[in-house]
Amino acid sequence: MAVRHIHDTKSSLNDEHKIVDRIYSAVMQQALAPMTKLSESTICESFGVGRMKARRALLLLASRGIVELRSNRGAFVACPDQKDADEVFEARIHIEPSLTAKAAESIDEQGLETLNEHINKEKQARQSENRQEIIRLSGEFHVLVATVSGNAFLTRTLRELVTRTSLIVAMFGSGRPSCCRDDEHEQILEAIEARNVKRASKLTREHLEHIRLDLDFTRPHKAEPDLVNLLRAD
Amino acid sequence: MAVRHIHDTKSSLNDEHKIVDRIYSAVMQQALAPMTKLSESTICESFGVGRMKARRALLLLASRGIVELRSNRGAFVACPDQKDADEVFEARIHIEPSLTAKAAESIDEQGLETLNEHINKEKQARQSENRQEIIRLSGEFHVLVATVSGNAFLTRTLRELVTRTSLIVAMFGSGRPSCCRDDEHEQILEAIEARNVKRASKLTREHLEHIRLDLDFTRPHKAEPDLVNLLRAD
DNA sequence: TTGACACGGATTGTTAACAATCGTTTTACT
DNA sequence: AGTAAAACGATTGTTAACAATCCGTGTCAA
């Protein structure tokens, strides 16, 4: 279970995981907007798989709250409402500060290296104003903190929460440029490097609250789908 | 997304969820031991569904780490190893104390009522020495604390963690009677009722550590594959 | 013009047949 | 007898055809 299927080189499980990962990434970097329809045929053609695997992938995505399956209508990228947003942020504020704290306690040199490299990538992306890359990396930082903790369960959980956060931001983001003032990530990393557990935890909580405060639930939700063919597998 | 399928009275989604829920429950109360094979035909007959739904349910269970799918071999109830156990307990210790703390802060009368009723059920089951019921209720208490918090995401997460804990206990439980000294649940509830956030959180952490300490990773694991094969000598 | 109704195309849901794989048993050979 | 190869049975994986449902369109009548 821990190491799942090392020798499954062409197995169906990996196929489905690839599809799921790809769609996760697309959602995380807001290349797939809420409400976008993901028809079975689209998935089949994009990834060169049969209908069965496409449907299984969509089922997995639905079980993770990334897409919504409607009977006889198909799969759509999920449209979180305010209640969903509250849930996601509450969960993140429950989980992430203590995760960052743990990282500050027990991270090793290699972990620090990984996070530093990531921060550099973020800076680079921000300089070149590559919006999608900025968004993707910004979310991935949080997943990476879980990854370096070495806990696969928490990593998966964070991945789901971060991806759903992307959808929430796509729905309710105020769009103000302040949205991504991500020197906060750098400060968090500094606190981790300084082994300052309290500060790492506190900065993480504040960071999450900043993201939440940038949401605007009063305005009509942006939810209109642009037809997307960005999924083509290679 | 929030309101998911109000009118799906006989939909396939509900069918699969029913199967998944049933197997979750069976695992949680240790009616399904690790390594148990869950063949498609078994599921089909047990639940009166077609092979498709059975396979989809198994896929969902696999994505939650409750069963393991092996290529061309079928689905088996998962056999967590020590690393899995560490992950699960680490995750629980990250999540549950702060959840209980939040409950102590913000639980309402109805929530307290729910928890009190549950504690009574636990007492009753312990008096009548109904082992499966004791185990089931004991795990369910933790899920219930998440439920009364009103956060569906955390509830699902806890449900998964608790179920996997059941598998871990089935694999590595020392079997000593001390295993289920569940006045601890009662104490936690008392702390919640007293709005004693610190104490509720601390008791929860200690409770989880007690469960963990009752594990024994040195002995040969029950349901070890080799053992099983040896047993069928006759 | 507008509304209701019915039809047609497209998409999803289901079933059943087929293919591939694994474990076991049988068989053949030393 | 013992070992190894081959055939069998059972189970899973995949595909394709079929059924059911939904959505848009067109027609007709008020």
The pLDDT tens digits of the residues spanning B162-181 come to 999 999 999 999 876 555 56
Residue pair A230/A31 in contact by the 8 Å Cβ criterion: yes
pLDDT for B95 beyond 90: yes
In a domain, A56, yes or no: yes
- Between the CA of A42 and the C1' of D13, what is the distance in angstroms? 22
Do A71 and A124 lie in a common domain?
A: no
Chain A residues lying within 8 Å of B65, measured CB to CB: 1, 153
Arithmetic mean of pLDDT, B38-65: 97
**What residues in A contact B94, CB-CB < 8 Å?**
95, 98-99, 102, 154
Distance CA A158, CA A208 (A): 13
pLDDT (0 to 100) of residue A164: 98
Task: Return all residues near A83 (Cβ < 8 A) that are at least 6 apart.
Answer: B2
**pLDDT at B232 exceeding the cut of 70:** no
| Single-letter amino acid, residue A233 | A
Instruction: Tell me, yes or no, whether A109 and A151 share the same domain.
Output: yes
pLDDT of residue B55: 98
- CB-nearest to B154 from A12, A94, A154 is A94
B10 exposure class (CB count in 10 Å sphere: 0-12, 13-18, 19+): exposed
Instruction: Please give the residue range of the domain that contains residue A43.
Output: 12-77
| Tokens at A125, concatenated | 């992306």
Residue A218 has a pLDDT of 87
Q: What is the pLDDT of residue A174?
A: 84
**Phi and psi, residue B149, nearest 5°:** -70, -15
* pTM of this structure: 0.91
Q: Is the CB of B46 under 7 A from strand D?
A: no
Q: Which residue of B has its CA nearest to A17?
A: B63
For the CA atoms of chain A, what is the radius of gyration? Answer: 18
CB of B74 within 7 Å of some strand D atom: yes
- DSSP letter assigned to residue B33: -
Closest nucleotide (C1' vs CA) to A70 is C12
Do A72 and A88 share a structural domain?
Answer: no
Is A228 within the bounds of a domain?
no
Of A81, A95, A98, the CB nearest to B1: A81
Spatial distance between the Cα atoms of B192 and B214, rounded to a whole number of angstroms: 25
> Residue A153 falls within a domain, yes or no?
yes
Is 50 exceeded by the pLDDT of residue B222? yes
Q: Which of B54, B35, B53 is nearest to B43 (CA)?
A: B54
Residues A86, A194 within the same domain: yes
**Does A177 lie in the same domain as A153?**
yes
Minimum distance, in Å, between the CA of residue B200 and any CA atom of chain A: 15
Closest nucleotide to A41: CA versus each C1': C11
Residues B46 and B130 in one domain: no
Chain A: give the shortest CA distance to residue B80, in Å. Answer: 7
Residue B205 sits in a domain whose CATH number is 1.20.120.530
Q: Is B193 on the interface with A (CB under 8 A)?
A: no
Closest Cβ opposite residue B2 in set A84, A95, A99: A84
Within 99-138 of A, beta carbons closer than 8 Å to B belong to 99, 102
How many helices (H) and strands (E) in chain A? Answer: 9, 3
Asked if A80 and A171 count as a contact pair (C-beta separation under 8 A), the reply is: yes
- Integer angstrom CA distances of residue A16 from A10, A56, A57, B14, B27: 11, 7, 5, 22, 26
Instruction: Give the residue-averaged pLDDT of B209-219.
Output: 92
**DSSP 3-state of A64:** coil
- Which tokens in the block code for residue A215? 């949401």
Neighbours of B215 (CB within 10 A): 18
Number of structural domains in chain A: 2
Per run of 10 residues, the mean pLDDT along chain A (length 234 residues) is 38 82 96 96 96 98 97 96 97 96 95 97 92 92 96 98 96 72 89 97 96 87 45 35
Cα–Cα dist A226/A155, whole Å: 30
CB pairs under 8 A between A and B: 86
User: Closest approach of chain B CAs to the CA of A124, in angstroms?
Assistant: 33
Query: Is B95 at the interface with chain A, CB within 8 A?
Result: yes
Residue A220 lies in a domain: no
Report the candidate in A163, A141, A208 with the shortest Cα–Cα distance to residue A32: A163
pLDDT at A211: 94
List the one residue out of A11, A38, A13 whose CA is nearest residue A24: A38
Report if residue A229 sits inside a domain.
no
Separation CA B96–CA B179 (nearest Å): 19
The set of strand D positions with any atom below 7 Å of a protein CB reads: 11-16, 20-23
Same domain as A106, residue A90 = yes
Tell me, yes or no, whether A52 and A129 share the same domain. Answer: no
- Specify the nucleotide whose C1' lies closest to residue B71 (CA): D12
A219 touches chain B (CB under 8 A): no
Q: What's the maximum distance between 2 C-alpha atoms anywhere in chain A?
A: 54
Given B30, B51, B78, the domain boundary residue is B78
For chain B, what percent of residues have pLDDT higher than 90?
80
pLDDT at residue B13 greater than cutoff 50: yes
Nucleotide nearest to B70 (CA to C1'): D12
**Averaged pLDDT score across all residues of chain B:** 88
Whether residues A106 and A196 fall in one domain? yes
Q: Residue A23 and residue A16: Cα distance in Å, rounded? A: 11
- Domain harbouring A51, CATH code: 1.10.10.10
CB contact under 8 A, A13 and B71: yes
Q: Which nucleotide is nearest to A53 (CA to C1')?
A: D14
* Tens digits of residue pLDDT in B62-88: 999 999 999 999 999 999 999 999 999
Cα separation, B184 vs B172, whole angstroms: 21
A92 touches B: beta carbon within 8 Å: no
The strand order across the sheet containing A67-70 reads: A37-38, A74-77, A67-70
Q: How much of chain A is in helix, strand and coil states, percent to nearest 5?
A: 65, 5, 30
Q: Are residues B90 and B200 in the same domain?
A: yes
Predicted local distance difference test score (pLDDT) of residue B25: 96
A69 touching chain B per CB within 8 A? yes
Q: How many residues does this entry show for chain B?
A: 234
Chain B nearest-CA residue for A70: B5
The answer to whether some atom of strand D lies closer than 7 Å to the beta carbon of A233 is no
